[in-house]
Structure 1
Amino acid sequence: MAMEILKKKKDFQRVYRRGHSVASNVLVLYLSRNRGQGRRFGFSVSKKTGKAVVRNRVRRVLREICRLNEGWFPQDHDVVIIARREAVGKNFHDLAAQLYHLTRRAARKMTLKG
């Protein structure tokens, strides 16, 4: 089954408004519960990051990490990943390690808040 991607601005805004966030110097991760729509992913890479080729490469790598490791993310949640400038030049494994670390921190944060 294909990974579902968030594309509409209103979906991103809802995740930013209602979601929990954790950040590192490379990535920001937002998690927000959705109404039984499964895991949905959104990716945001600012123009400050670089030209289109650079932004698209970062987005493709992040999408592949999420596709291969969907189990890292809670079921029935929307996930938005924002790449910061420091993500440029990082390889697949570095970004995967960063994202894994953020998902663990987010899970702890969400269980503490209830």
Structure 2
Amino acid sequence: MQVLSKRSEFLAAARARRQGSKGMMVQGRNRGDGDGIRVGFTCSKKVGNAVARNRAKRRLREVARLNLAEHGLPGWDYVLIGRAKETANRPFEDLQGDFLYALKKIHR
């Protein structure tokens, strides 16, 4: 699993499919090359101060680490976006369920 780092990669995912859930927003894009899974994480200042944003991103990273290898598709880019007051405070099992629900909707 590779991590997205360039703004152009995030913008390309933003133009593709997206699915919101209570705990996060997930954007997915089929690159078409079948060359591994790439993932990016972001939280705006609406989530809170730097401590709150970092906590939300840590939780998103862990959800992706546990689930993308099994449920993600090769050749896809995924961007996980944290939600204000939800990503950091939602129970972890519910956050995982939100992520799996969003993946199913994106892959249709």
One-letter amino acid matched to 2:38: R
| Residue of structure 2 equivalent to 1:43 | 41
Q: SS at 1:60's partner residue?
A: helix
Give the letter for the 2:77 counterpart.
D
What is aligned with 2:95? 95
Check conservation: 2:30, 2:76, Cα contact below 8 A.
yes
Listed as ranges, the gaps of 5+ residues in structure 2 are none
Identity of aligned residues (%): 34
DSSP 3-state at the match of 1:81: strand
- Separation in 2, partners of 1:100, 1:64: 13
* Matched letter for residue 46 of structure 2: K
Give the letter aligned to residue 21 of structure 1: R
Paired position in structure 2 for 1:29 = 26
Aligned-pair CA distance for 1:39: 0.3
TM-score by length of 1: 0.83
Count of residue pairs the alignment pairs up: 105
- Separation (CA, whole Å) in 1 of partners of 2:78 and 2:35: 12
Which of the numbers 2, 5, 25 marks the counterpart of 1:4?
Answer: 2
CA distance in 2, matches of 1:47, 1:37: 33
Deviation at 1:88, TM superposition (A): 2.8
Cα distance in 2 for residues equivalent to 1:14 and 1:107: 17
Give the match's secondary structure for 1:65. Answer: helix
**Letter of the structure 1 residue corresponding to residue 93 of structure 2:** H
Q: Name the amino acid aligned to 1:81.
A: L
Alignment RMSD (CA, Å):
1.4
User: Which of the numbers 38, 53, 56 marks the counterpart of 1:55?
Assistant: 53
